[in-house]
């Protein structure tokens, strides 16, 4: 169960990273902000 939850979490994390990239393409102004968030993680 733990392992399954972890893979689910990683899948979602990967998906949001992909979405972030798309957003950066569409909205360069947000680039700096999301970079700061990525550094904190």
Domain count, the chain: 1
Question: Using the 8-state DSSP alphabet, how is residue 30 labeled?
Answer: G
Tell me which residue range forms the domain holding 31: 2-40
* pTM across the whole model: 0.42
Per-residue pLDDT of the chain in tens (41 residues, 90 and over written 9): 688 988 998 898 888 888 888 877 776 665 555 555 555 54
Q: How far is CA 25 from CA 1, 2, 5, 19, in A?
A: 37, 35, 31, 10
CA nearest to 35, candidates 21, 26, 22, 13: 21
Note the pLDDT of residue 14.
87
Query: Would you say how long the chain is, in residues?
Result: 41
């Amino acid at each position: 169960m733990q392992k399954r939850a972890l893979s689910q979490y990683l899948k979602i994390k990967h998906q949001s990273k992909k979405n972030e990239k798309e957003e950066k393409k569409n909205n360069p102004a947000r680039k700096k902000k999301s970079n700061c968030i990525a550094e904190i993680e």
